[in-house]
Amino acid sequence: MIRRALAAALLLALAAALPAAAHEVLHEEATGEATVVRFFYAGGVPFSYESYEVFRAGETIPYQTGFTDAEGRVVFLPDREAEWGIRVFSEDGHGAELTITAGGGAAPRADRPPVDRYARLLAGLGFLFGVFGLISLFYRRRSARSG
C-alpha cells in the first residue's frame, strides 16, 4: 500500500514537472561585431515575437528594447566591451534573464562623413569643369575658323 502511494506521488510529481520544463526558456549566444542571442523553449520552439530589453551592467535605462524575431533572436550591436544584461519576457509570464560579456568587435562609429563622399564630390566637379572646358575649346576653334 505504501509503495503504491509513493509510486503515485512520484508519478504526480513527474507529471507536474513536465509541463513546466516544456515552458522553460533556454538560450544560445554568438558574439562578434554584432551579438546574437537566440531564446527558445525546452522543446526547441523559438521564443518568437516576445519583448526584450538589453542593459549595460549597472545601468537602469535600457540600451535597446524590442521584440525577438521569428527565430527568437535578440540582435544588438554593443558600443563597447562590457557586461550586458538581456531580459526577455512574454505577457503570460515566461521569460529569462542572462548576463553576457560582449562588444570587443564593435564597429567604429563615424562622427563625420567618410572621405569617399568628398572624393566623389570633387570628381563630379572635375568632370563638369572638364565637359565645359571641352565645349569652350570647341566653340573657340569654330569661331576662329569662321572669323
pLDDT tens digit at each of 147 positions of the chain? 555 544 444 344 444 444 444 457 787 777 678 899 999 988 889 999 999 999 998 899 999 999 999 999 999 999 888 999 999 999 998 999 999 998 876 454 444 445 566 677 788 888 888 888 888 888 887 777 776
| Cα separation, 8 vs 1, whole angstroms | 11
R_g of the chain computed on alpha carbons = 31
The pLDDT value given to residue 33: 80
Backbone angles phi, psi at 63, to 5 degrees: -75, -35
The pLDDT value given to residue 23: 57
Q: Is the pTM of this model over 0.75?
A: no
- Is residue 106 within 8 Å of residue 33, measured between CB atoms? yes
